[in-house]
Amino acid sequence: MTDSSHRFGFITIAGPPNAGKSTLLNRLIGQKVSIISRRPQTTRHRILGIRTAENSQLVFVDTPGIHDDGKKNLNRMINRTAINSLSDVDLVVFMIDYKGWNNPLEKVLRKVSERNVPILLAINKIDSLKDKSRLLPLIQRSSELHQFVDIVPISALKMAEVDEFIDVLLKYIPEGPPGFPAEQISDRSDRFLVSELVREQTFLLLGNELPYESAVEVTQFNRSDPEFWTLDMIIWVEKASQKSIVIGKGGQQLKLIGQRARIAIEKQFGVRVRLNLWVKERKGWADNTNMLRSLGYVED
């Protein structure tokens, strides 16, 4: 590669739920493009994060964690989204955490490796691994499972040297001109991101209490005053009991979700926001293809 050459390519970040894929994406892009929570199955869509440097442009594809439980339509769609993101990319970063392999995880790896794309293994959360000598056997075991192009222990959360990691990735990226404008950092709209920032707060505040079958719909996205946005959103759930969990005693929970989400949106976009939230139930929405489509879970 000559000094003047430019690289351009796509890198999918895939792996099981909760490995830290979205955390890595945000770290590599330098701002939040994908929401994060300690709860598995936070990401539900394919989300692009674009990193433009002087001699390269890398397009990262964040994907939902791939898992085995495909009963509901929603779950199946989400798994399909992840698997479809493995084609036509230059590299897959397969992310696991330091706890290592188990049967379902090996099954996920086999599914991913069917696509014949080079796979780099990132072993994440090593900041939480007290006994670092456990890494060596894990690397050994991993190399027996698949011929990874590289195996890199990382901490997506505490990574100081992003450039070093990028240099490792660039080895697998072909030369080519940039495919996106330099200022573009994501393929997702502001409207999508505000709904995600509300969903993130429901995950963070309700944790495991939150029914998995909840989604956020933006019904008003008014930016006629560019410095003071008015946003209306509906949090959809499937049952009355779930509705009362989200609303909480005397509406306290919903109020807190609204306050925190408003602050997150204001910080993200540097504007002031009026945010109105409602909780509504519709039985079976997570199985209803039309509803899934209108909420953006069906890829055309």
- CA 41 to the chain's CA centroid: 9
Give yes or no for residue 22 binding Mg ion (CB under 5 A). Answer: yes
The answer to the question of residue 49 lying near ligand GTP (CB under 6 A) is no
Query: Backbone phi, then psi, for 6, in 5-degree steps?
Result: -125, 140
Q: Which stretch binds ligand GTP (CB under 6 A): 16-24, 50-58, 190-198, 249-257?
A: 16-24
79 binds ligand GTP (CB under 6 A): no
135 binds ligand GTP (CB under 6 A): no
The answer to whether residues 214 and 235 touch, using CB atoms and an 8 Å cutoff, is yes
Secondary structure, 3-state, 51-77? EECCCEEEEEEECCCCCCCCCCHHHHH
Q: How many helices (H) and strands (E) does the chain have?
A: 9, 9
Q: Cα–Cα distances in Å, from 273 out to 65, 141, 144, 179, 225? A: 31, 50, 52, 33, 10
Residue placing its CB nearer to ligand GTP in the complex, 231 or 261: 261
Residue 54 Cβ vs ligand GTP, minimum distance, rounded to whole Å:
27
The minimum distance between CB 298 and Mg ion, in angstroms, equals: 19
CB of 101 to Mg ion, least distance (A): 20
| Shortest Å, Cβ 278 to ligand GTP | 25
Q: Which does 18 bind (CB under 5 to 8 A by kind): Mg ion, ligand GTP, none?
A: ligand GTP
**Kindly report the CA angle at 99 between 94 and 105, in degrees rounded to 5?**
50
Nearer to Mg ion, 108 or 254 (CB): 108
Q: What are phi and psi of 62, to 5 degrees?
A: -80, 140
List of residues contacting Mg ion (CB under 5 A): 21-22, 42-43
List of residues contacting ligand GTP (CB under 6 A): 17-23, 36-38, 40-43, 64-65, 124-125, 127-128, 155-157
